[in-house]
Every structure is written in structure tokens, then in C-alpha cells.
Structure 1
Amino acid sequence: MTTVGTGMRRGLADKRRAILRGALAVFAREGYTRASIDLIAREAGVSTRTIYNHFRDKAALFETVIQESAQRVAEEQIAEMDRHLAHVGEGPEALEQALLAFGRAHAQPTAAEHFALVRQIQAEVLHIPAEALEAWQETGPRRVQRALTGHLARFMAEGRLREADPHRTARHLVLLAAGEVTSRSFHGALPVPKAEIDTIVATGVDAFLRAYAP
């Protein structure tokens, strides 16, 4: 492997990263329909030709952006979930505290640019290629859902929750503990006071445990 060859590959990788960073910023700010390759090129500090050397068209670029962004955020959310749910002490109070901690974390997303992109997707869903939507769902939300389903299935096997469909149970937990905050804040766009978030999460977890406690 020559030094020149290594440098060229590194340069191509750097250009690709710059394109994806610029595209994420533009898609999150402008949405899919209003975003243009010219805008993305200016944001990324590259030429439009450079973008087309890496991506077939705007749809292909968008699909890559949403997949990579969703993957990063899913990994962060799963790591946070595991921190609260992977090793829960014995007894119902320990489980309740773990679910409360998970709910508070899930209700307050930290990846602002990614969730700005999610808001744009929701606003323009009819104009976005179906392949991009499917890639986003599979790489992000469904992956997080599967991880939560695994934790709840384990709690059921241990007798800490009653037997039920763990996938549906996971959906119920997210809706009860974090759904109101998510809808009120539009995925983090509008502030919700921390005290209100704590109350919403606590009420939701209480309702969840009333439904699923053994």
C-alpha cells in the first residue's frame, strides 16, 4: 500500500464525512423537499460534483444520512437503556426505580440535530422515498424497540412482570412513560419543565406497573 494511495483513500473518507455532516445539517434545517444538492455542497464546503461522485442523487444521500444518524442515536439510546435496565436489583421497588430512570432518559432526547431531522420526516412523510423511511425505521426506532423488548422479556422470564407479548409491552412502556413528553415537546423542539417530565414519567411508570406487575 503506497503512501499516495493511503492519502487518497483518507481524503475520500474525509470528503464523505464532510458531505454527510453538511447534508444532515441541511436536511434537518430545510427538510427533504427544500434541500438541494447546491445547498448541501455549500454547507459541506465541497463541489456538487464531489457529492455526485459519492452519491447517486439526493434520495441516495438522504437515505445514507438518515441511516447513519439513526444508527448513532440508536446506539446511544440502547447504551443508556442498558445502563438502567441490564442489572436491576431485586424487588419491585428496584424495578420501578429502573423503569423511572429509563423513562426520564427516553423522554429527553439529546441528539438535537437528529430529532430535528425526525420532525422534518414526519412533516414530509408523503414526499420522502419509501426506501429511506424503511431504512430509518429499521436502523433506528425498531432497533431500539427490539432492545427494550429483550429487557422486558427477561423481566417476564424472571417473574418480575406478568407474561404478555413483550413487543407490545415495550410499546406500552414507551407510550406511557415518554409519549406525552415527546408529543408536547415535538421531539425536543419545545421545552417541557423537568418537574413536569418527572411527574409524567412517574405517572406513566405507575400505570405500566399496575398493568404488568405479576
Structure 2
Amino acid sequence: MARGVLQGRKSGGVSVSVTTGPTVGRAGRPEKRRAIVRGARRVFALEGYSRASIERIAADAEVSTRTIYNHFSDKAELFTTVIEDSATAVAEAQEGLIREYLDPVVESGDLDGLVRFGRRWAASAQDAEEHFALMGHVSAEAHFIPPEAIRVWQQAGPSRVEQEMSTRFARLAELGLIHAPDPHRAAAHFMLLVGSAVAQDSLNGAVPLPKAEVDQIADAGVEAFLRAYRAED
């Protein structure tokens, strides 16, 4: 069988290309694939895309490098799968928060409910430490990460969640409660003011913040959002 070559990128002038073992067909047991994705997620979250090696991932997942290549053609494909899987899981959890906390605000028209939603949204920025560590590496290594991985991540995660939130803000605008000509931008601003602020201050969850501090950041974010978007009486 022909040997495959893992096409890495250069970081700081150091090549991270890795020569792989024999390339085999993409068949394999689902549980092995899940173990590989879990192991790769841990390694990518810890080491980033450029530094992570297939050998290190294989060791963490307790499989052989051959087994990894039974499922994935190279590190780029594996990373793309990991980031899509992670973003999808976080997006589903965040959509659940939108339904649980933001839908009642739309139904009641009581904008005070945004404070409760904001606090729970801010807390969620620390619920998925591994995922947000991955996001930190995406930001730091954007020039080295395959563009397809970034596109997949945006579609599976941020864009999907922003769409869900923007539909609720559009409804609040229709009700005359907020002034949001561009509901998508309003959703992006809310996420930045509330969730991203906590992620930044907690170093993507690596240094968890006390609940009181998270609530304080959330309250300030919601207050800033309402100053900008609350409809004039």
C-alpha cells in the first residue's frame, strides 16, 4: 500500500508535516471513530492544530495511527470533523437556552427577562471549556487552519445560533420592544456583550470565574444591549 503524507502547516518557520502510515480504506467500527474524535478533540484543545500530531492523538484515543487513517485521510479532515462535532453540540445546547429563556421574553414582551437569559447565556460560556479552548486556537492559528474547517465551524456553530437568536430579536422588533433594523447584527452584539465577554475574561474557560462575576458581566452586557436597542417610549 502507498504511504500517505500528512500535510501540515508551518508555524514560526517550523514544519509540522507528518509522514503517516499506510493509507487504507475508510471503513471501521463506529466506536473507534468516536474514540478518535474524542481523543482528537482533547489534543487539539490542548495543543492547537499546528502542534497536534496524529501520533499524539492516537495515543490519547488508545488506537493505532493506522486506525485513524482507516477513518480520516489526514489531520485536516480529522480537525474539520472535530470542530464540526464540537460546534454542533454547543449550538444545540445554546439553542436549548434560547428556547427556554428567550422564547418567554418574546411571548410576554417583558424585556426584564433578558437579564435571566443573559446570565444563563454567560454561564454557558464556561460550560464547554474544551470547545472554547478549541475556539481560542482557531483564533490564534487562523492562518494555519484549513479554510474548510473554519467554514464548517461557522455554519455548524456561530451562524446557526445567531440565526436562532436573530429570529427572536426580529419578533421583539415587530412588537415594537426593540429597535433592530438588522436582527442578525443585534444577535451578534448580544453574544459579544454577554457570552464572549465571559469567555475572554475566563481565558476560554481555563480560569473559571465565580458565578457572581459572571452575573455581573452578563448584567452589564444586557444593560449595554438595551441602551443600544430598546425602543424609545
Matched, 1:107 2:125: no
CA distance in 2, matches of 1:177, 1:53: 42
Q: Which runs of 5+ in 2 are unaligned?
A: 1-27
Q: In structure 2, what is the Cα distance between the partners aligned to 1:41 and 1:21? A: 11
- Give TM-score, length-normalised by structure 1: 0.87
Q: Which residue of 1 aligns with 2:165?
A: 148
The structure, 1 or 2, with the larger RCO (C-alpha pairs under 8 Å, 6+ apart) is: 1
Instruction: Give the aligned residue type for 2:62.
Output: G
Cα RMSD (Å): 1.8
1:121 alignment partner AA: V
* Residue among 38, 57, 60 paired with 1:43: 60
In structure 1, the partner of 2:108 is 90
Q: Which has the higher helix share?
A: 1
Per-residue deviation, residues 104-129 of structure 1 (Å, max 9, x unmatched): 22222201111121122222121111
Gaps of 5+ in 1: 1-10
Instruction: Report how far residue 196 of structure 1 moved.
Output: 2.5
Distance change >3 Å, CA 170–CA 40, structure 1 → 2: same
User: How much identity, in percent, do the aligned residues show?
Assistant: 51
Which deviates more, 30-39 or 160-169? 160-169
Aligned residue number for residue 5 of structure 1 = none
Q: 1:87 Cα shift?
A: 2.2
2:135 is matched with 118
Deviations 1:143-164 (A, max 9, x none): 1111111110111112221242
- 2:91 and 2:156 in contact (8 A); partners too: yes
Superposed, 1:1-214 pairs within 5 Å as 12-88=29-105, 90-91=108-109, 94-97=110-113, 99-108=114-123, 109=125, 110-214=127-231
CA distance in 1, matches of 2:74, 2:84: 16
Shift of 1:187: 2.0
- Contact residue 70 and residue 136 of structure 1 kept, 8 A: yes
Distance (whole Å) between structure 2 residues aligned to residue 151 and residue 204 of structure 1:
18
- TM-score between both structures, scaled by the size of structure 2: 0.81
How many residue pairs were aligned? 202
